Structure 1
Amino acid sequence: MTTPHPALEPRYFARMAAALGDKARVLEHVRPGHVIDAGAGGGELAGMLATLPGVDVTALDLAEESLARLREDGRFAVEQRELGDDREPLTARPASTIVFSAVLHEVYSYAAEPWAAHERALAQARATLAPGGVVIIRDGVMPERPGEPAELRGRDDTLVEQYLALSSFAETRLGRMRPGVWAGTRHAVSEALCTLTWGAASLPREALERFQLATLDGYADLLERAGLRVIHREATTQPGYREHLDAAGWSADEPDGAWFPPTTGLWVAVRDDADAGGGSA
């Protein structure tokens, strides 16, 4: 059974807008032509894409709350489309670039068969790309050596307990060692940091999502298996993220000392086979 998406509220759209600076990293990889923002949310990134020369943008989303905002903008076309429900092209018109910004982890998190839905979303992208087109993914990145032990430290055990009560992912479980210290894997601690940073009010949505699906190289392997050749990959820590967590009293440790994980991965992959997309963008 698919987990229903929580209703999108103003806090969600404000959070997406606040991350716009980090999203700008995708722009240098966009190719001229028809550009798709898949899972466009409030439209901030789609609007930024629409300012690029030689580009026209289609914003895709499923949620009515997002579609209403997108249709008010006027700088791009808007279509309603579900990601990961089939393997058909996302739009009738082939694309030069498809951007998935912080959306494929949602496809995974709310699906009855998470990995199957994620694989279908990549197949949709591949089917939509024109020859030489690229898919750009900006999403959570699992830390290297994700299964090794680590500890989460903080001042609010109640918030951690609330997070664990809502989260259903076995890979991200934590165990309380003593007041203010929780033990788990590097992946589990990193995932908790990414979720707890939003605070208690956002837990009813954020705790339902697994943000980190693979390491930097692991996600590249997923793209390669989908028939997309990876031409760029990078992992970064979003500006201000560590400072915000430090101020809130959250930190991470390993047996050998203090440690802090990256937050976001960026992957660019091209479909360069002769049968791509079926036309020009």
Structure 2
Amino acid sequence: MTTSHPALEPRYFARMAAALGDKARVLEHVRSGHVIDAGAGGGELAAMLARLPGVDVTALDLAEESLARLRDDGTFAVQQRELGADRDPLTARPASTIVFSAVLHEVYSYATAPWAAHERALAQARATLAPGGVVIIRDGVMPERPDEPAELHGRDDALVERYLALSPFAASETRLERTRPGVWSGTRHAVSEALCTLTWGAASLPREALERFELATLDGYATLLGRAGLRVIHREATTQPGYREHLDAAGWSADGPDGPWFPPTTGLWVALVD
């Protein structure tokens, strides 16, 4: 069961297209055969996957706005499918590779039972994989030592207050409290979540504030995959190009007991059926 998902507007698709360079990191891990782009959005990554030799692609999405864009491309098959709704295979045809790019945190964020929905999405992937196939997950990653204290510094307290008022997670996992003008205290996870959300600006806040972007640390997510019967064979955490520069220009930064720091924004995990 999922909660209401906000309508996808042109700004959302433009933002996803702008991240295409970082999404290209998944390509070296793709295996030839039937490749599924699960939660394909505007289709930019699916089109990139479809250009790989020996690959044919099925793009999956639930939103009508996304499906209309996907069907316009014509270089890959398109199916409407809800992620995390059940444990059945994502497609009738087994897959050599399943890509979840910045979508599993949405499965979590909009579900009435978040972890159960996330676990079902992984079960769907496991049920779909052909022997020797892989799941590739590109999504938010918590900073190491996520529970340690940290501070968010900025010059727009009203924007932080609006973010906290909109976020369904701010009362617990991502709580921040203002200690003085322009300074908000919380955990490293809470500060990192705020930075990853505030970078999109006030116009995108009504959507972005509803989502929890970071579900686990690099190793913690590998543990989640292990519980789902998926063995991680590659993992890496990076800071997506442009994040830090954009936030620095807007006056946002992070501090902690050891001094200024900036969190990784994106994790990449590649896993086999165990």
Cα offset, 1:240, TM superposition: 1.2
Cα offset, 1:49, TM superposition: 0.2
Give the distance between the partners of 2:37 and 2:31, measured in 1 at CA: 13
Alignment of 1:87 onto 2:87: yes
Corresponding residue SS for 2:124: helix
List per-residue Cα deviations over 1:112-155 (Å, max 9, x = no partner).
Answer: 00000000000000000000000000000000100000000001
Give the distance between the partners of 1:76 and 1:179, measured in 2 at CA: 51
Give the distance between the partners of 1:148 and 1:229, measured in 2 at CA: 28
Residue from 227, 230, 234 that aligns with 1:228: 230
Cα offset, 1:168, TM superposition: 1.2
Cα offset, 1:245, TM superposition: 0.4
Cα offset, 1:229, TM superposition: 1.0
Residue from 176, 182, 185 that aligns with 2:184: 182
Give the distance between the partners of 1:240 and 1:64, measured in 2 at CA: 30
Give the distance between the partners of 1:260 and 1:174, measured in 2 at CA: 17
Question: How large is the RMSD of aligned CA atoms in angstroms?
Answer: 1.3
TM, length-normalised to structure 2: 0.98
List per-residue Cα deviations over 1:48-82 (Å, max 9, x = no partner).
Answer: 00000000000000000000000000000000000
TM, length-normalised to structure 1: 0.95
Cα offset, 1:223, TM superposition: 0.6
Cα offset, 1:2, TM superposition: 3.5
Alignment of 1:269 onto 2:268: no
The answer for the alignment partner of 1:112 in structure 2 is 112
Post-superposition, which runs of at least 4 consecutive aligned residues in structure 1 deviate over 4 A? Answer: none
Cα offset, 1:243, TM superposition: 0.5
Corresponding residue SS for 1:171: coil
Cα offset, 1:3, TM superposition: 2.4
List per-residue Cα deviations over 1:219-272 (Å, max 9, x = no partner).
Answer: 0001111111110000000011100100000000002211110000000001xx
Unaligned regions of 5+ residues in structure 2, if any? none
% identical equivalent positions: 90
Give the distance between the partners of 2:168 and 2:143, measured in 1 at CA: 20
Write the mapping of 1:21-100 to structure 2, written as runs, cut at 5 A.
21-100=21-100
Unaligned regions of 5+ residues in structure 1, if any? 271-280
List per-residue Cα deviations over 1:6-29 (Å, max 9, x = no partner).
Answer: 000000000000000000000000
